[in-house]
Amino acid sequence: MASVDVLRTLGNKYSAEILEAAEEPRSAQELSDELDIPIATCYRRIDELTEHGLLELHDNVLSDDRRRIKVYRRSIETIQVAFDEDLAVEVEERSTVTNKLDEAWRNLSEPACTSSS
pLDDT for position 79 = 79
pTM over 0.85: no
Residue 115 lies in a domain: no
Split at pLDDT 50, 70, 90, the class of 70 is very high
Domain CATH for 53? 1.10.10.10
Average pLDDT of the chain is 80
Q: Which domain holds residue 83?
A: 3-109
Query: Which backbone phi and psi does 14 adopt, to 5 degrees?
Result: 85, -15
- 58: pLDDT strictly greater than 70: yes
Would the CA dihedral through 13, 19, 22, 28 be positive or negative? positive
The tally of domains found in the chain comes to 1
Pairing of β 55-62 and β 76-83? unpaired
Query: Which backbone phi and psi does 17 adopt, to 5 degrees?
Result: -65, -40
Q: What is the mean pLDDT of residues 85-103?
A: 63
Split at pLDDT 50, 70, 90, the class of 84 is confident
